[in-house]
Each structure stands twice: as structure tokens, then as C-alpha cells.
Structure 1
Amino acid sequence: MTHMHITAWVLALILFIVAYVMYNQGKGKPGKIVHMILRLDYLFILYTGGSLLGHYFGGGNLLPEAIVKGVAGIWVIAALEMILIKTSKNKPAKSFWIQLVIALIITLVLGFWRLPM
């Protein structure tokens, strides 16, 4: 399940970059299509992440860190979504970029260096 989860969020980052570039180039319709595909990928990320989180509920002392990672992962998805929405409307999204960097660092540190799965 871990490999599916990593594949899903790498795909999400690629789709995010493609949609962001399309919105910045003024290609609204193709950008919206990629944005919708990205939203489907969010569901897959949530499913695989929830499955991974479920393994920690069986016991162990890493449950609080796993919950923080799950919340930070949802925060990443929310920041990605808000950046694309603001960009599609030609509004500034600086605060959401800052949030994305913070949440992504928390998620990656907990996911790759603290939690075993």
C-alpha cells in the first residue's frame, strides 16, 4: 500500500504542476480538465493514506505521529487545491504557497524519517 500511496502523491504533484502552468498560460479549459483529474487523484491519496493510517490504530506508540502526518497530508491537499483555485481566478496565492511548503515538509519528514511504513 505504501508504494501506491507514494505513486499517487507523486502523480498529484505532477498534475498540480501541469495544471498550474496551464492556468498561468491562460489555458483555462485544459487546466480545468487536468485539475479535475487531480481531484480524482486526491481521492486515491486519501484512500491509500487512510489505509496506511489504519495500520497504526492496531497499537504502538507512533499513533500520534501518524495522526499528525495524516492531518498534514490533508493540509497539503487543501493548499494545492487553494493554489489552483486562486491561480485560475488570477488572484494572489502567496499564503497558500507558504502553507504548502510547511505542510509538505511536515508530511515528508514524518513519512520518510519517523514512521516505519
Structure 2
Amino acid sequence: MLFCGFGLSTYMFGQSPSRVPATPYPIKVAQPNGDTITIRLFGDERQHYFTSIDGYVIVKNAEGYFCYAAMNNDNEIIASKYKVGKRGICVRRYLKKISKSEKLKKTIL
């Protein structure tokens, strides 16, 4: 009987939990300066990435701001100098040069 109980508990609790998918809905977050932006989250609790509402990959920089993602020479994802939020002319020019890259998304995951 003890063996049966041990086997049952191993079966029930020995399995790794299933991953919880990200919310399919856009979410609002605050930037450190108080501005509110709307972003999307893709993936699950272990592997995920963020995009702007229009699909550009974004990452947090050292100061905690969400910025548009870029790749450095070592193919690592880094934060660009352009923060997500109000799009001035410089940000719009930058976004025209980059793509809503599947390569970036695959590199993150």
C-alpha cells in the first residue's frame, strides 16, 4: 500500500507543470517617466518576448524603458536608443530601416 501511494504521488507531482501561454490581449505598461504604452506579450512564462502594438520587437534597457530591439555584431538582442512611445521623426526613420523581424523573435526564443 505504501508503494502504491508513493507511485501515485510520483506520478501526480513528478511531472513538470505545463507552460502557461501569454495573454492574447494587448497590455498597458508604464515607462519609468510615467508614460503609458500598449504592448503585446508572446510566448510563455519561460520563454517570451514583447512587441510594440504594431509588431516591432521591444526590450527593456538598463534604465527600465522599453526600447525597440536591435541586433549587435554578435547577433545578440540589444535595446536601441529609441524608446517605445511617442514617435518623433527620428523614431519613424529608424523604424523604416528595421523590420518586424522573425529573426529577432527566433533569436529571443
Greater per-residue strand proportion? 2
TM-score (norm 1): 0.28
- Structure 2 length normalisation: TM-score? 0.29
Larger Rg: 2
